[in-house]
Structure 1
Amino acid sequence: MEQSEQYEIATFAGGCFWCLEAPFDSLQGVKEVVSGYMGGHTLNPDYRQVCTGETGHAEVIRIHFDPSVINYRDLLEIFFALHDPTTRNRQGNDIGTQYRSAVFYHSDSQRDTALEVISELSSRGIWSNSVTTEVVPAETFYPAEEYHQHYFERNPQQPYCQAMIGPKMAKLRSIYGGKLKSH
């Protein structure tokens, strides 16, 4: 699905893509979330290659959203609430450049909004360390293998999902419950 008049695209990296895909897929106005890779130098990378950290790619999610229902600023605020943007190349036990925090912007407006949100959140003193999130232009997106798509939905009892994604879903419901799809 490409960007259209109705839908826009947002691309975020914040650790394991499974940990971001499920929460964003639960939001009203989100049409589709695809896990994949962006920001590296290897053409058509696969998961095994990306996991080495040698491709330069980050695990990302590409979100197709309806800005008349949920705007880009809201997506950014949720993104920053769901991961630690102060740890360079790391989220919890996931360590490496493939787990870096990044906003891959698709327009000057997205870039400006991302920088504003980072500045606003930083000035509130939410984190004790400085934000290390990269704000960089979107590059070629490579969808991840099919078994990575909707991973939490298909594997909710898997221990990693229970330990890492379950708490993010609970936090999402707690803080942003009014923005969730009704199932």
Structure 2
Amino acid sequence: MSERLLVLVRHGQSEWNLKNLFTGWRDPDLTALGVEEAKKAGARLKAEGYQFDIAFTSQLSRAQKTLDLALNELGQTDLPITRDLALNERDYGDLSGLNKDDARVKWGEEQVHLWRRSYDVPPPGGESLKDTVARTLPYYVTEILPKVLQGNRVLVAAHGNSLRALIMVLEKHTPETITHRELATGAPVIYRLKADSTVESITDLAG
């Protein structure tokens, strides 16, 4: 029987994560810790005996580098990789590049919290989580899910919010509960799917 394996990995810590900046579609590199997190993700998957047939990532270098480092640990540097902006992080618009504490001073704690944690309120010039779902989910349904259901073992390295869009469907979250679903950097989450595309089991390799 085909395995129907889907593994999601959030990129390792980026330079702007470290500096507490809104990142979105901006393209900072991984920190030294982020590099280690990416390598550790690959090492964890290797230790559990996982191998992959195809990988997907965003058009942002922190996700691409995380994927490359993980695949190097897995000994799968020649794996086919598809890069698409549909898997990019949520676009934070006018907040991109701003320090989160400075943004709270400028707009107030409550407003910034609403932009960051509500489901459908976008920051100025940017995307809400709902907008990110509308961008990411169709790509999952048309490009990633069919590969999984065909029996391919699929690895996706992307971002906190683009992965939440997938997790919303996989784990059957509501608009209220998905905003509280945390994803550790560099921690693989492993889904085995049934033939009808619903989840049979979840294994979280965080920690």
Output the TM-score relative to the length of structure 1.
Answer: 0.35
Which structure has the greater CA radius of gyration?
2
Higher helix share: 2
Higher strand share: 1
Output the TM-score relative to the length of structure 2.
Answer: 0.32
